[in-house]
Amino acid sequence: MIKHTVKKGETLHNIAKKYGINLNALLAVNSSIRNPALIQPGQVINIPRPAVQRTIVIPRENYGYDEMLNDLQSLEELYPFIEVNSIGSTVMGRSIPVVKLGHGKKEVHYNGSFHANEWITTVLLMKFIENYAKAYASGKKIGSFNIPGLFETTSLWIVPMVNPDGVQLVQGKIATNTKTYQTALMINSGSRDFSGWKANIRGVDLNDQFPAHWETEVSRRAASAPSPQNYPGNAPLSEPESRAIAEFTRSHNFRLVSAFHTQGEEIYWGYRGLEPNESQLIVTRLVEVSGYEAVRYVESDAGYKDWFIQDWRRPGFTVECGLGVNPLPIAQFWDIWGKVIGIFLMGINV
């Protein structure tokens, strides 16, 4: 962060121009300035580093928890108006980061990597955080979307990785000499190939953990004990990760939530007839910008989207990105990105 001492005759507009940054970005890191017209000579203001053509989030194989944390730190340094906090901790004590972009009254929430082997959704969300921040700092649009305007009207809260322990396990980044790893190995029938692992480190499917007809979900699931996938746990919200995101959701007034998963190129938008009428209008627009298929109902309960619709009666979506077998190869990233960026932007705009 650069410090600039205001000289006689200077305005915030020409200071921003001098440093090659957008006025909105300058105001974002000087929250004490209530009236931009009233800056005084001798006043010291913060100048964010210019958003040069530096790429931080680079899609690559085994993009995991540590890579995400390093990129979040770099993004905060380059774009000081980004706010990074934590919603809680995992079974193994890893912090679960949340990123806030914008300062409007309308609140929207996105999350990714509920399922461990769907970690490519974290990379998609991280890339969106970078592109969204870069567009705001430069005062530019993304396509037809006015990013500075969206920043003013909407607070976007993103949890890029709900299940850090599980992601690390899938990517071979859990120490093999630990009791935690040995327990996971036993759950995985002795196989060191964890590519089919969706659950958290204790073998609980975090997207089967929410109090939305959880008992019905238990009755239809094949897994009745800790498993790489499809075990709902011994009670709703039994896991620290699912509790963290539930408490986080309850502490906000989200107008819309979207959980990003893989794969199928589908958008699930209904739940037991409890979804509001506007959900159908919104999903139509999401389909228009992505080419994905809208699916109203599936035989499933206890998911994050289900719980949100049930308890808030507001629009909730599960977006299944890409096609193939999980974990999707990073080679698919840019093809998926070209379709989901419209979903990211439209979800803030509606």
**Catalytic residues, which ones?**
320
**Burial letters for 219-237: b for 16+ Cβ neighbours within 10 Å, e otherwise?**
eebebeebbbbbbbbeebb
What one-character-per-residue DSSP string does 216-249 give? HHHHH-S--SS-SS----SSTT-SHHHHHHHHHH
Are 123 and 264 within 8 A, CB to CB?
Answer: no
Which residues 6+ apart lie within 8 Å of 65 measured at CB?
94, 161, 164, 167, 168, 173
CA distance 123 to 113: 10
3-state helix, strand and coil shares in percent for the chain, rounded to the nearest 5: 40, 15, 45
* Residue whose tokens read 């000087």: 30
CA distance 23 to 184: 51
Using alpha carbons only, what angle is made at residue 61 by residues 246 and 55, rounded to the nearest 5 degrees?
A: 85
Are 118 and 160 within 8 A, CB to CB?
Answer: no
CA distance 197 to 178: 18
Fill in the amino acid letter for 244.
A
CA distance 155 to 303: 24
Using alpha carbons only, what angle is made at residue 321 by residues 320 and 322, rounded to the nearest 5 degrees?
A: 125
Tell me the pairing of strands 44-47 and 2-5.
Answer: antiparallel
Are 123 and 59 within 8 A, CB to CB?
Answer: yes
